[in-house]
Amino acid sequence: MKELVTTKNTSPLTFALPKGRLEDQVREHFGARDILFSFSDRKLVTEDSKGYFSLMLVKNADLPTYVMHGIAGLGVCGEDVLYEASSKLIKLKQLPFGSTRMCLAATKELSQQIKALGDWTSALRQGSLRVASKFTRFSRDYFHSLGIPVDLIKLNGSVELAPVLGLAPFIVDLVETGSTLKANDLEVVAVLQEIKVYLVANPAYYKQHYRRIDELVGLLD
Amino acid sequence: MKISPSTLLQLPSGATGLFLHEAHSHRRQVEKLNQLYDSWAYLPVHTPLLDFSEAYTGLVSEADAKRVYQMFDRDGHLLMLRWDITLFLVKQIRSMLSPKCPVLRLCYADSIMRHEDAEDIARNEFFQTGVELIGKPGLEGDLEVLLLLQQAFEALRLRPSVHVGSHSLIDAVSTELNSLQKEELSHAIKYRDQAQIEALLGPNLASDAKLFSLICPAAQAPEVLAPHLKSIKPASRDAVEQLLTLLSNLLDIEPSFDLHLDCSEIGSQGYHSGMVFQAYLDGISGPAAAGGRYDRLLERLGSPSPAAGFSIMLSRLLAVLPESAQSELYHAQGSTFQERVADAKRERQQGRRVSL
């Protein structure tokens, strides 16, 4: 197993982890490289078994803020969150897990009507598109890039409810298996973007610790 | 009329103040630096708070233009608030350049004001101190500015890593790009997006594109750059060779300088040319100082003259100054006011700060 040579006798690198699904995948990925860690007793800060990292567990959407302010120098984050936070961070490496899709979805009935018309973008150019989403910045920029006006409703969770309850006919959300959509009688109209997960760094932190960070990137291959 | 609490409790975006101990510490650091600048024969300048926007046409990038505060005067002229000290300073100083006085050494400590989005708050660049060396071209000018930067941090008892690159490198490779592509290239270089750099520069400049990922301690720079020199454009090679000469001279003069070759440093301002640098310190989320050469700026303002300088982001440093650099306060001793006054007088003569 490779070791981080330049980490000896230095303070650990600060690393923010997103709570939830990605946390487990990072733990597994690091574990396969003999870097072990756990958060005990509801604590949100820990160190790994090798002393490479001081890890902090933060809410997914807050992770870019912690990294941008230098509280954590490094982090693991999806493109969706980075885009919403308009983060100016270095993407050091795409990680081989956690990928998902940003999708436009609607009720099955509406979705099939659109699909029957062929090109979904033409079908949506009928006035302003009403969309509910957690990802309002992404949605606005995406539809504007297609020349489609969009009327956005910001939601913080359970976005699938919006078409079901009549708040908005469309939603833009991350779709992994599609089971939540299916359970609510919704379906994907179009995949807007593949969302990848990256190891990210605060630019100034990278400059200060580039030798150790480059070694880490090599270790994570 | 009722005053809304938010106007009493908040400041407009980009505005800030320093108060009490923070202001005291700030003033002490400025004094130390002013003393240093004075010992290097740099004269102080105070730039105007407002100037005509028109004078800076073509010098403000699209991104910066969105952050500048502008207003109209009574005659309908569009004005801008001081948002970049170098620009405001150079415009004023250009009329003072003359054959009799070809080199000007200037220093400043001022605040700037520009809009900052919530995500930019960590920038904290409101108070800056720095120098401008006008009229001194080439290697000696570059060396003077970088050595003074190193001395400035030494005066503050801080030891940053200084990353030096060259704006000439991006000039060399971007001759075929339009302004939007140049902006995309600058962004990709700054955020080390190598795939995007290579996509923008194309296969003919694949070797030049690789340069932008190079970063290493200055002492290793010749060895790291050697394999790249044969396959890059002559203009890129010239830029790299000038950079190597600068780094080796700096290490000869000041071996303890924590210097790094960093080709992703291409300058924080659109007016940069030649060598550029940023200084980084542990515990600060952005650069602690930035600077470089800007030989073309005075020419664009109608008075061609080489120039170089740096700004130290003083407000950022306050959080990481060594404890001993902060001034300790002594409370005068004595059971009566008169005794405390006498004690205070004695202690003040020893150079202490004393409160009655």
Over residues B163-194, the pLDDT tens digits come to: 999 999 999 999 999 989 998 999 999 999 99
Label residue B1 by pLDDT band (50, 70, 90). Answer: confident
pLDDT of residue A7: 58
> Chain B closest CA to A205's CA: distance in Å?
7
Chain B nearest-CA distance from A6, in A, is 14
- B192, A206: Cβ pair inside 8 Å? yes
As a whole number of angstroms, the distance between CA A51 and CA A46 comes to 10
- Per-residue pLDDT tens over the stretch B281-311: 998 989 999 999 999 898 888 888 999 999 9
Minimal-distance CA residue of chain A relative to B214: A210
Do A90 and B284 count as a contact with CB atoms less than 8 A apart? Answer: no
Judge residue A219's burial from the number of C-beta atoms within 10 Å of its C-beta, 0-12 exposed, 13-18 middle, 19 or more buried: middle
Q: Is the pLDDT of residue B101 over 80?
A: no
pLDDT of res. A8: 59
What residue type is assigned to position B105 of the chain? R
To the nearest whole Å, the CA of A34 is away from the closest chain B CA by 28
Answer yes or no: is pLDDT of A119 > 90.
Answer: no
| CA separation for the pair B152, B309 (Å, rounded) | 13
Would you call A14 an interface residue with chain B, using a CB distance cutoff of 8 Å? Answer: no
Give the ranges where chain B is alpha helix by DSSP (H).
5-9, 20-39, 62-65, 85-93, 138-155, 167-173, 179-190, 194-201, 206-211, 221-229, 234-253, 297-300, 314-317, 337-349
Would you list the DSSP string of B68-133? --EEE-TT--EEEE---HHHHHHHHHGGG-BTTB--EEEEEEEE------GGGGGG--SEEEEEEE
CA distance A99 to A113: 29
Minimum mean pLDDT among A25-34, B157-166, B267-276, B319-328: which range?
B319-328
A77 touches B: beta carbon within 8 Å? no
Query: Which residue, among B66, B119, B187, B258, would best test binding to A if mutated, counting the most A CBs under 10 Å from its CB?
Result: B119
In terms of CA atoms, which chain B residue is nearest residue A88?
B191
Whole-number Cα distances in Å, B37 to B42, B289, B328: 5, 16, 25
User: Is A10 part of the contact surface with chain B (CB cutoff 8 Å)?
Assistant: no
pLDDT of B58: 83
In angstroms, the separation between the Cα of residue A63 and the nearest Cα of chain B is 12
CB contact under 8 A, A208 and B280: yes
Q: Which residues of A touch B119 (CB under 8 A)?
A: 64-65, 68, 85-88
Entry pTM: 0.91
Enter the tokens of residue B231: 């396959």
User: How many whole angstroms separate alpha carbon A175 and alpha carbon A186?
Assistant: 12
* Residue A115 or residue B34, greater confidence: B34
pLDDT at B249: 98
Per residue in B29-84, pLDDT tens?
A: 999 999 999 999 999 999 999 999 999 888 888 778 888 999 999 999 999 999 98
Q: Which residues pair with B312 in a beta bridge?
A: B129, B289
Q: Hey, are the CB atoms on B117 and A86 less than 8 Å from each other?
A: yes
Size of the A and B interface in Cβ pairs below 8 Å? 49
pLDDT tens-digit profile of B217-235? 999 999 999 999 999 999 9
Q: What is the distance in angstroms between the Cα of A64 and the nearest Cα belonging to chain B?
A: 9
Q: Does pLDDT of A126 surpass 90?
A: no
- What is the CA angle B183-B187-B189, rounded to 5? 115
Residue B20: per-residue pLDDT: 87
A89–chain B Cβ distance below 8 A for any pair: yes
Whether residues B215 and A65 touch (CB distance < 8 A) is answered with no
Confidence check: pLDDT of B242 > 90? yes
Q: How does the average pLDDT of chain A come out, rounded?
A: 91
Per DSSP, the residues of A49-79 read TTS-EEEEEE-GGGHHHHHHTTSSSEEEEEH
**CA dihedral of residues A187, A193, A199, A205 (deg, nearest 10):** -130
- Is B282 close to A208, i.e. CB distance below 8 A? yes
pLDDT(A9) > 70: no
Measured in degrees and rounded to the nearest 5, phi and psi for residue A74 equal: -125, 165
